[in-house]
Amino acid sequence: MNYWLMKSEPDVFGIDDLKRVGVEPWDGVRNYQARNMMRDQMQVGDLAFFYHSNTKVPGVVGIMEIVRAGYPDDCAWDPEHKYYDPKSSPDNPRWYRVDVAYKETFPQVVPLETLKSMPQLADMALVRRGNRLSIMPVTADEWEIIQQMAKMETDHDAC
DNA sequence: GCCAACGTTGGC
DNA sequence: GCCAACGTTGGC
């Protein structure tokens, strides 16, 4: 089983939206590295952190589960769609997506700022300067650390 | 195959 | 809203 981190702008689609709909195709990814991970590596049962980007406090806000492995993103074939890409076709799909299911929302955001301050997380693409990858792998250790921080934030709040 | 121009991401 | 960093495109 693999762990992942997936970014989305809460103004467009946030974790509250995912909670409401339950399951959602993660479409519109137009980056080859991210596509390769969805197409080749993501498997049903994998878990992913939901990350809010481009917002007041960017950070990890919850957990979701991959419930359908990579399959062609047919948004790319619809000329009316905002994710339309004329270079993708049913015969030769250029872009892929996965389906994700809501699992949980953390009581508090684990802010990017906090993640950056953790030496154990220094290798994550997320905290590296100028990184723009919207989907990235997370190691089991990193997964554990971030999950514990989500709990710690709660404990701290209770004091 | 180089690289300048352009568009996008995303923190701040 | 600004802008640095990065990926992609297209002329040559």
Total count of domains within chain A: 1
Pairing of strands A135-138, A47-52: unpaired
Strand B bases, protein C-beta under 7 A:
8-12
DSSP character string of A126-154: GGSTT---SEEEE-HHHHHHHHHHHHHHH
Strand C bases, protein C-beta under 7 A:
4-9
Q: What is the mean pLDDT of residues A25-40?
A: 94
Instruction: For chain A, give the mean pLDDT.
Output: 91
Rounded to whole angstroms, how far apart are CA atoms A30 and A85? 9
Q: What is the mean pLDDT of residues A25-46?
A: 95
Q: What is the band of A157 on the pLDDT scale with cuts at 50, 70, 90?
A: low
In angstroms, the Cα distances linking A147 to A31, A38, A128, A142 are 27, 23, 20, 8
pLDDT for position A117:
94
- Backbone phi, then psi, for A16, in 5-degree steps? -65, -35
Q: What's the domain range around A101?
A: 3-158
Q: What is the mean pLDDT of residues A3-26?
A: 96
Q: What is the band of A53 on the pLDDT scale with cuts at 50, 70, 90?
A: very high
pLDDT for position A153:
56
Q: What is the band of A86 on the pLDDT scale with cuts at 50, 70, 90?
A: confident
The answer, yes or no, to whether residue A159 has pLDDT greater than 60, is no
Q: Which nucleotide in the DNA or RNA is closest to residue A8, CA to C1'?
A: B10
Cβ contact A154 with chain C strand, < 7 A: no
Cβ contact A39 with chain B strand, < 7 A: no
Element (DSSP H or E) covering residue A4: strand A3-8
Cβ contact A36 with chain C strand, < 7 A: no
What CATH number did the domain enclosing A110 receive?
3.10.590.10
Task: Output Rg (C-alpha) for chain A, integer angstroms.
Answer: 16
pLDDT digits 0-9 by tens, A105-145: 999 999 999 999 999 999 999 999 888 899 999 999 999 99
pLDDT for position A74:
83
C1' of B1 to CA of A32 (Å): 21
